Amino acid sequence: MTNMINSSLFQSIKGALAQDKNTTGLSEIMKTEVGNTYTVRLLPFTKDPKKTFFHFFTHGWQSFASGQYVAALSPQTFGERDPIAEERYRILRTGTEAEKQKAKAIGRSEKWLVNVYVINDPTNPDNNGKVKILRYGKQLQKIITDAIEGEEAEDFGPRIFDLSPNGVNLKIKVEKQGDYPSYVSSKFSMPSALPDIDEAKAKKIYDNVHDLEKVFAIKSQDELKAMLDEHFHCKNVKDVVEEAEEEAPAPVKAPVKVATKPAPAKQNASVSSDDDIKSLLDELDANNS
């Protein structure tokens, strides 16, 4: 069978991974459980190889209004400002001790998505032989990165995306480490052929991968602020409207002309505040990089 992973396609994937160091699909995400080993083969997004991996950030917490868990994709995923992150950092910097403890409930998660051809899913055997989405964290990311451009690249490289007998499987071993699952024992195996996969079927598999950028719903800045108001500050829409009406100035019935001297320009305090918050965000990002 012809090797469909050519050098150009692989270099595009590798380049996008290096650059990265800079709703409808939710049902397609594989579920992994401690004590199991899952065997998959990674798939490239052949329509646009740079989109083979989707690197994203989310914020989530137990709602202080409803008690239910709420989460949203962070705009930082796309290099944009995130009102949830900025509010959390602002509180941790200037809030009271009680407010700071409350803000710590907002968790930030970093994950990746990639398409996979499922060879063995012990949790859900119905996934076998299908294209699914693997969601994973930093432990698997290191293993995949090493196979693409690290110490393992000479042995694996483009083979990790190849459905031909030259391709290699990723064995995802899920173990328990303390209170959390661990993936550090996962590894790529030796080259092997996949059962019942010919060139025509391989092409069909490559053509049926999911657009990973469309897996999660993307909230606008206003929607994220409304999420904060409702589930963190415990305000509803009615509260926000009433508060705005109370703060609005009373209408002037008739204009009154008064001769006054021009008042001296006042410094905009919010500019200084915004600069402080931006500096804090930059400092935190630098420390976490």
pLDDT in tens, 120-178: 999 999 999 999 999 999 999 999 999 999 989 999 999 999 999 999 999 999 999 99
The domain in which residue 55 lies consists of: 7-99+102-214
Is residue 266 a part of any domain in this protein?
no
Q: Residue 4: what pLDDT?
A: 63
Is residue 181 a part of any domain in this protein?
yes
Q: Residue 278: what pLDDT?
A: 46
Q: Residue 75: what pLDDT?
A: 96
Strands (E), 103-207: 107-120, 131-136, 170-173, 175-177, 180-182, 187-188
Is residue 224 a part of any domain in this protein?
no
Q: Residue 151: what pLDDT?
A: 87
Q: At residue 288, what is the residue type?
A: N
Which of the residues in the chain have pLDDT under 70? 1-5, 7-8, 10-24, 237-289
Is residue 24 a part of any domain in this protein?
yes
End-to-end CA distance of the chain: 42
Is residue 284 a part of any domain in this protein?
no
**Farthest-apart Cα atoms in the chain, separation:** 90
Q: Residue 29: what pLDDT?
A: 96
Is residue 250 a part of any domain in this protein?
no
Strand partners, 136: 112
Distance CA 6, CA 13 (A): 11
Cα distances (Å, whole numbers) of residue 64 to 58, 167, 231: 18, 49, 5
Number of domains in the chain: 1
Q: Residue 274: what pLDDT?
A: 45
Any idea what the CATH number is for the domain that residue 176 is in?
A: 3.90.198.10
Closest by CA to 170, choosing from 154, 147, 138, is 147
Is residue 115 a part of any domain in this protein?
yes
CB-count exposure of residue 187 (10 Å: 0-12, 13-18, 19+): middle
Q: Residue 241: what pLDDT?
A: 46
pTM: 0.74
27 token code pair: 């049902």
Is residue 232 a part of any domain in this protein?
no
